[in-house]
Structure 1
Amino acid sequence: MRNLFVTLLLLVCAASLSAQHLRILSYNIHHGNPPATPGKIDLEAIAAVIKSSKADLVGLQEVDIRVSRSNMVDQAKELAEMTGMSYFFSKGIDLERGEYGTLILTKHKIVGNRRYDLPMVVPSENRSLAIIDVELPGGKIVSFANTHLDLKQENRLAQANYITELGDWYDRPLILVGDLNARPDSESIRVLEGYFQRNTTSNGPTSPNTEAKNEIDYIMVGKHTKFSWKTYKTLPELSASDHLPVFAEIVIH
């Protein structure tokens, strides 16, 4: 009986050790412009949110690369340096002589990266999906996707369908974050819920930054992933951007 108890204890310890805890942040940063101060760029405030969250994986939207409104700064490189993280930038559009798009930051080693143009069935601003593969301590590979879906419903729906079809290729854990420009009861979110699981217990509105009314920023996890939510919440940063940051901690079993 004692041997059986010891064996069960060892199995429980092994399962606990093999679980991976990941902190995740999604944040539309409004190109670093605090909405109450037109013309001001405050990347330090954005970096402070990222660092205080202690996130392992970060998806940022509305990031400028060498654009006049943000002082010609390469915001992707600057934020990576300010946070001490590795990065992957995904262009949505050319803007002036620079670029505008989304950014992934991570504490972990990037072992793969991909960028996809998302479908556009009616004329609009080009959108992209960025995916990186990171190697966690212990060697496990996790994929992390970041996007900013279109304002037009027809495009959002086509883009959501494209993302779920792409997600279906993955056997490894896949996390999706972004400004999806859609409320939880919208058709595009229902499409994504066919493949991804979103938090429905501690979620809340993310836009605008003050007196938030709309939940349009999300962290989702592929349903094929064995995981549990440890934390899911918006962070109380009201001044750095026109959106609230969304934070989650998950345990991958």
Structure 2
Amino acid sequence: MKKIIFTSIFCVCFILLHAQSVRVLSYNIHHANPPAHGNKIDLPRIAKVIKESGADVVGIQEVDVRVSRSQMVDQAEELANLTGMHYFFSKGIDLEEGEYGTLILTKHKIVGHKRYDLPMVEKSENRSLAVVDVELPSGEVLSFANTHLDLKAKNKIAQANYIKELGARIENPLILVGDFNAKPTDEPISILEEQFIRNTTTNGPTHPNTEAKNEIDYIMVGKQTKFSWKTYKTIPETYASDHLPVFAEIELTLQ
């Protein structure tokens, strides 16, 4: 009888609380232009980096859609085709007759998506925040956000506050990635850390691609999320972009 009771309790606990590992990549791809190679565009190399990382969900910044400098290719759709992943593109600005912005790729089914214009205190290039809900193999839903913050300090602070407040309203487990154009000691990062947790043990510089000096690309996890870092690192890919990709394997404790 005791064995039956123990087994029942164990099964109930397992159902109520279990772990799900998610592999995440954040990558500013510089519209797939290898910085040491003039105007060359190399989307297959970007796709190779993504596939070799083994990431389940990817946040990409600086993506062109039908722009002359990148051969009029819809880079969002093409990267989805090259990687075999689902995608959601979030426009920042109109560029020529096309668009320029950020992209989310995922191996998992997208069950919801939203795009938010970020606040602009000073006139500058418009920025957006993309949030997708993906269904994990466990059936749980993960919210994944990707952005590219502005270069101007006042705009970055306003945008960080906006993302912090939005993140606090999301009930799902939440991961935020992107190029934040801010160092760990800068105010926008301090603001985001009020709602998100960043890795401070195995993190490192992400820009420029060679002899990287500045950490400005991040993977963060919402404070409403029970998790642990299994891996957090930069990938030493120095050819494809002027940023290094950032990879994390995150173990989520789901209910």
Q: Same fold (TM over 0.5)?
A: yes
Give 5+ residue unaligned stretches, structure 2. none
Q: How does 1:89-108 map to 2 (within 5 A)?
A: 89-108=89-108
Q: What's 1:21 paired with?
A: 21
Deviation for aligned residue 1:138: 2.3
Distance 2:31 2:63 in 1: 5
TM-score, normalising length: structure 2? 0.95
Deviation for aligned residue 1:108: 0.4
Q: What's 1:243 paired with?
A: 243
Distance 2:51 2:59 in 1: 13
CA root-mean-square deviation: 1.9
What secondary structure, in the 3-state scheme, does the structure 1 residue paired with 2:23 have?
Answer: strand
What secondary structure, in the 3-state scheme, does the structure 2 residue paired with 1:19 have?
Answer: strand
Letter in 2 for 1:14: F
Letter in 2 for 1:218: Y
Letter in 2 for 1:156: K
Q: What's 1:208 paired with?
A: 208
Deviations, residues 51-90 of structure 1 (Å, cap 9, x unaligned)? 0011110000000000000000000000000000000000
Letter in 2 for 1:79: L
Deviations, residues 182-240 of structure 1 (Å, cap 9, x unaligned)? 00000000000000000000000000000000000000000110000000000011110
Q: What's 2:50 paired with?
A: 50
Q: What's 1:178 paired with?
A: 178
Distance 1:230 1:10 in 2: 25
What secondary structure, in the 3-state scheme, does the structure 1 residue paired with 2:169 have?
Answer: coil
Distance 1:2 1:215 in 2: 55
Q: How does 1:101-250 map to 2 (within 5 A)?
A: 101-250=101-250
Distance 1:227 1:15, change over 3 A: farther
Distance 1:130 1:174 in 2: 12
Letter in 1 for 2:174: L
What secondary structure, in the 3-state scheme, does the structure 1 residue paired with 2:134 have?
Answer: strand
Letter in 1 for 2:228: S
Deviation for aligned residue 1:14: 2.4
Number of residues paired by the alignment? Answer: 253
Percent identical among aligned pairs is 71
Distance 1:194 1:50 in 2: 30
Distance 2:15 2:223 in 1: 20
Give 5+ residue unaligned stretches, structure 1. none
Distance 2:252 2:115 in 1: 25
In the alignment, does 2:40 pair up with 1:35?
A: no
Where has structure 1 moved over 4 Å in runs of 4 or more?
none
Distance 1:67 1:249, change over 3 A: same
Distance 2:11 2:97 in 1: 57
Distance 1:19 1:12, change over 3 A: farther
Distance 1:11 1:200, change over 3 A: farther
Deviation for aligned residue 1:16: 11
Distance 1:105 1:211 in 2: 28
Distance 1:9 1:210, change over 3 A: farther
Q: What's 1:64 paired with?
A: 64
Deviation for aligned residue 1:7: 3.8
What secondary structure, in the 3-state scheme, does the structure 2 residue paired with 1:189 have?
Answer: helix
What secondary structure, in the 3-state scheme, does the structure 2 residue paired with 1:160 have?
Answer: helix
Distance 2:17 2:155 in 1: 43
Distance 2:179 2:9 in 1: 43
What secondary structure, in the 3-state scheme, does the structure 2 residue paired with 1:81 have?
Answer: helix
Letter in 1 for 2:51: K
